[in-house]
């Protein structure tokens, strides 16, 4: 499975278009790091025991800053 446009829309709607860490409002399609949202895998490939790691339940919407913070030290 891959993250499709439909999955991305579902995760953004579930998060009410806000970063799930800081609640900053994020704009779909933005290229500005202040308003850009990114999908984050809660559990990475090495931790996720199912093939459907791209399932919406394993994804979170984060702002660029929090996505970077959550990926520090991840290989």
- Domain of 20 in residue numbering reads as 5-71
Predicted TM-score of the model (pTM)? 0.84
- State both tokens at 37: 């949202």
Is residue 36 predicted with pLDDT exceeding 90?
Answer: yes
Reported as a single tens digit per residue, the pLDDT across 62-71 is 999 999 988 7
DSSP-derived 3-state class of residue 54:
coil
Closest alpha carbon to 1 in 75, 69, 57, 47: 57
**Residues contacting residue 61 through CB under 8 Å, at least 6 positions apart:** 11, 12, 14, 15, 17, 18, 19, 20, 26, 37, 38, 39, 40
What is the domain count for the chain?
1
């Amino acid at each position: 499975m891959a993250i499709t446009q439909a999955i991305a829309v579902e995760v953004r709607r579930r998060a009410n278009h806000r970063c799930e860490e800081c609640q900053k409002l994020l704009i779909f399609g933005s290229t500005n790091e202040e308003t850009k949202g990114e999908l984050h895998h809660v559990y990475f490939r090495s931790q996720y025991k199912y093939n459907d790691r791209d399932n919406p339940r394993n994804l979170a919407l984060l702002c660029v800053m929090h996505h970077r913070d959550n990926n520090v030290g991840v290989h």
